[in-house]
């Protein structure tokens, strides 16, 4: 990144010298030496429990009960800490809270505080900022709540700002945009900014330099992408089609209107999709884009509202129990919350044996235990896991137990709905790596729904990008990585690479959808025509299809 380094000053706003935080005789943060200049943005990354929050609390001068502090930490000027989860009183109007906080720090009256907050919201790119100030934070969408919190911090005008897991839980596109805006502000106003978060949160993207907390030591970070080892798409070229979906639609009844017409909420608009033998297809999209619904509809869990799904050319029908079971044997599913997908009232082994009994009646009962043990070992778990209860499994173990269950009937294809969403960065890459190894060994087809664009594209042959239940771009993964055309795909890739996505605000609710392109309120290329028609998929190069009126606008 080409950001000019601020000139070193004799007294930087943050300087620590061998800051050590001890709980008893255990060093949680060990001799951390940190120097942050005014106008510098520093990212501190680390896994869960690595001591990020503790370090920030120590720098903010908050009390640390039960912790012994050694070494020196000096922080000059007004300092602010945005605590984990973004703490605002949930029910009080935002304006009232702002008046209180700004009144306390700056001695402003209510009118002055609101004006200052509105200016700060303008700087963070929230249009018509003043209108939202009478709402309490829990009535705001998540992205706006975080923006308001940052705006409040901006309005106070600190010399040092520290943010602990900023924008956690937001879509990467929204979070990265916000973090870049915050970093821009810090550089412009000569504020020392520390962003702390997990490596996968992308806090390193907007930062001038990134440090990592590992085993208590604060050291320069290795770029996140370089740590994760990925196998890439399968080496063997894809074969004939296994799973085909035509016009797959998912909608839910919303009751009736006053005239007695049925109202439905459509979360997946007609989608055509093919999954060939040995092929990996990624379904990319933000939260609420319908990727999970589409993936499940393809596995008939539940069946799509309209359209048809065929397995090896034979249409799936819910009524045909025998046929469904035969298909399920070949088409297995990985769930986004693997722990919840295990029955708490049965041991892991009992559920796995049950799956085997149901899908592979040809395997005699006395050989099931052996099969279950083998599957567990393939998934990277000891065979004794079969005797354990689901609640005693960690998230990573549960994910592997889910993989073992999916592999038991020796399927031909796996539908993976964010299979590693509940895992931390290291567990995640290890799990995905094992999944891909299994894929290559058994020549499995994968349908991989994920919101991590870069990760999805690296491992897939082909990808579909979804926006509010519609496919907006589909192309070979390699084409998308370097030549994506749709603004959403570009934004998702930018976010995954730590850059600033060029999309404003958050995805609108599916219940309050307006005419035209669903992205137009956020899109940098938006023009009047976008409000008139929903763009349809058009082929712009062989195998590369885009649904955008202005895809050729750079």
**Residues of the shown chain interacting with another protein in the complex, contacts defined by CB under 8 A:** 296, 299, 301, 321, 324-325, 328-329, 332-333, 335, 337, 339-346, 354-355, 358-359, 389-392, 395, 402, 405
Give the residues across from 192 on adjacent strands.
Answer: 160
State the nearest-atom distance from the C-beta of 298 to another protein, in Å: 12
State the nearest-atom distance from the C-beta of 361 to another protein, in Å: 10
Which is nearer to another protein, 128 or 321 (by Cβ)?
A: 321
Q: 485: helix, coil or strand?
A: coil
Cα dihedral 238, 374, 299, 237 in deg (nearest 10): 0
Which is nearer to another protein, 354 or 410 (by Cβ)?
A: 354
State the nearest-atom distance from the C-beta of 333 to another protein, in Å: 5
Which is nearer to another protein, 222 or 340 (by Cβ)?
A: 340
State the nearest-atom distance from the C-beta of 470 to another protein, in Å: 25
Neighbours of 342 (CB within 10 A): 22
Which is nearer to another protein, 402 or 456 (by Cβ)?
A: 402
Cβ pair 32, 211 in contact under 8 A: no
State the nearest-atom distance from the C-beta of 397 to another protein, in Å: 12
Which is nearer to another protein, 330 or 433 (by Cβ)?
A: 330
- Spell out the alpha helix ranges (H) of 157-265: 172-189, 224-227
CA distance 470 to 283: 11
State the nearest-atom distance from the C-beta of 296 to another protein, in Å: 8
Which is nearer to another protein, 194 or 413 (by Cβ)?
A: 413
Neighbours of 229 (CB within 10 A): 9
CA distance 138 to 89: 9
State the nearest-atom distance from the C-beta of 422 to another protein, in Å: 9
Which is nearer to another protein, 76 or 354 (by Cβ)?
A: 354
Beta strands in 451-519 (DSSP E): 462-467, 470-476
Cβ pair 331, 411 in contact under 8 A: yes
Which is nearer to another protein, 234 or 401 (by Cβ)?
A: 401
Which is nearer to another protein, 181 or 405 (by Cβ)?
A: 405
Tell me the DSSP string of 9-52.
Answer: -SS-SEEEEEEEEEETTEEEEEEEEEEE-TT-EEEEE--TTSSH
Which is nearer to another protein, 131 or 263 (by Cβ)?
A: 263
Which is nearer to another protein, 412 or 549 (by Cβ)?
A: 412
Tokens standing for 319?
Answer: 């009524």
First to last CA, the chain: 21
State the nearest-atom distance from the C-beta of 268 to another protein, in Å: 17
State the nearest-atom distance from the C-beta of 515 to another protein, in Å: 32
Give the residues across from 447 on adjacent strands.
Answer: 281, 415
Q: Tokens 């549960």 label which residue?
A: 398
Q: Tokens 């009994």 label which residue?
A: 357
Tokens standing for 211?
Answer: 């440090």
Cβ pair 180, 187 in contact under 8 A: no
Q: 78: helix, coil or strand?
A: coil
State the nearest-atom distance from the C-beta of 390 to another protein, in Å: 8
State the nearest-atom distance from the C-beta of 437 to another protein, in Å: 22
Which is nearer to another protein, 327 or 378 (by Cβ)?
A: 327
CA distance 443 to 428: 22
Which is nearer to another protein, 295 or 547 (by Cβ)?
A: 295
Neighbours of 82 (CB within 10 A): 24
State the nearest-atom distance from the C-beta of 543 to another protein, in Å: 31
Host H or E run for residue 154: helix 142-156
State the nearest-atom distance from the C-beta of 300 to another protein, in Å: 8
Task: Provide the angle, in degrees to the nearest 10, between the axes of the packed helices 368-378 and 395-407.
Answer: 130
Host H or E run for residue 445: strand 445-450
CB-based burial, 232-255: b 16+ in 10 Å, e otherwise: ebbeeebeebbbbbeebbbbeeee
CA distance 103 to 109: 6
Which is nearer to another protein, 389 or 550 (by Cβ)?
A: 389
Neighbouring C-alpha atoms within 13 Å toward the C-beta of 100: 8
CA distance 23 to 18: 16
State the nearest-atom distance from the C-beta of 452 to another protein, in Å: 21
Cα dihedral 98, 102, 104, 106 in deg (nearest 10): -170
C-alpha pair distances (Å), 369 with each of 72, 340, 353, 362, 364: 59, 23, 7, 14, 10
């Amino acid at each position: 990144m080409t950001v000019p380094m601020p000139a070193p000053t004799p007294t930087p706003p943050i300087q620590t010298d061998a800051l050590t935080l001890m709980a008893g005789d255990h060093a949680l943060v060990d001799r951390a030496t940190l120097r942050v200049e005014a106008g510098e943005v520093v990212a501190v990354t680390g896994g869960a429990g690595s001591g990020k929050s503790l370090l920030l609390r120590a720098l903010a001068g908050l009390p640390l009960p039960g912790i012994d502090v050694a070494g020196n930490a000096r922080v000059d000027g007004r300092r602010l800490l945005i605590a984990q989860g973004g703490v605002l009183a949930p029910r009080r109007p935002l304006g009232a809270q702002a008046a209180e906080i700004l009144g306390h720090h700056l001695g402003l009256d209510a009118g002055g505080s609101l004006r200052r907050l509105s200016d700060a919201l303008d700087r963070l790119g929230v249009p018509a900022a003043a209108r939202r100030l009478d709402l309490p934070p829990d009535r705001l969408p998540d992205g706006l709540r975080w923006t308001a919190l940052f705006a409040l911090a901006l309005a106070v005008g600190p010399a040092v700002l520290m943010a602990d897991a900023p924008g956690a839980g937001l879509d990467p596109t929204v979070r990265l945009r916000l973090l870049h805006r915050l970093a821009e502000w810090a550089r412009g106003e000569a504020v020392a900014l520390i962003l702390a978060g997990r490596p996968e949160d992308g806090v390193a993207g907007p930062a001038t330099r990134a440090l990592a907390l590992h085993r208590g030591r604060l050291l320069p970070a290795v770029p996140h992408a370089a740590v994760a080892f990925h196998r890439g798409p399968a080496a063997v070229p894809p074969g004939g089609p296994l799973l085909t979906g035509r016009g797959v639609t998912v909608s839910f009844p919303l009751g009736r209107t006053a005239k007695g017409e049925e109202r439905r909420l459509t979360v997946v608009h007609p989608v055509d999709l093919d999954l060939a033998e040995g092929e990996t297809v990624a379904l990319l999209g933000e939260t609420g884009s319908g990727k999970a619904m589409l993936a499940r509809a393809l596995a008939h869990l539940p069946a799509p509202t309209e359209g048809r799904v065929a397995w090896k050319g034979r249409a799936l029908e819910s009524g045909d129990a025998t046929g469904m079971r035969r298909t399920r044997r070949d088409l297995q599913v990985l769930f986004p919350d693997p722990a919840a997908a295990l029955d708490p009232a049965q041991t892991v082994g009992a559920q796995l044996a049950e799956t085997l009994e149901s899908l592979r009646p040809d395997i005699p009962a006395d050989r099931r235990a052996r099969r279950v043990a083998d599957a567990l070992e393939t998934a990277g778990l000891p065979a004794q896991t079969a005797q354990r209860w689901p609640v005693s499994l960690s998230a990573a173990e549960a994910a592997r137990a889910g993989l073992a269950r999916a592999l038991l009937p020796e399927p031909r294809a796996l539908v993976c709905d964010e299979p590693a969403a509940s895992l931390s960065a290291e567990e995640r890459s290890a799990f995905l790596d094992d999944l891909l190894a299994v894929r290559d060994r058994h020549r499995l087809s994968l349908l991989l729904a994920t919101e991590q664009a870069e990760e999805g594209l690296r491992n897939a042959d082909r990808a579909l990008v979804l926006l509010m239940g519609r496919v907006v771009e589909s192309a070979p993964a390699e084409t998308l990585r370097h030549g994506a055309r749709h603004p959403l795909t570009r934004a998702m890739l930018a976010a995954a690479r730590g850059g600033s996505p060029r999309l404003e605000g958050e995805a609108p609710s599916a219940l309050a959808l307006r005419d035209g392109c669903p992205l137009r309120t956020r899109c940098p290329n938006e023009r009047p025509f976008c409000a008139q028609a929903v763009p349809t998929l058009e082929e712009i190069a062989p195998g590369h299809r885009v649904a955008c009126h202005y895809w050729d606008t750079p």
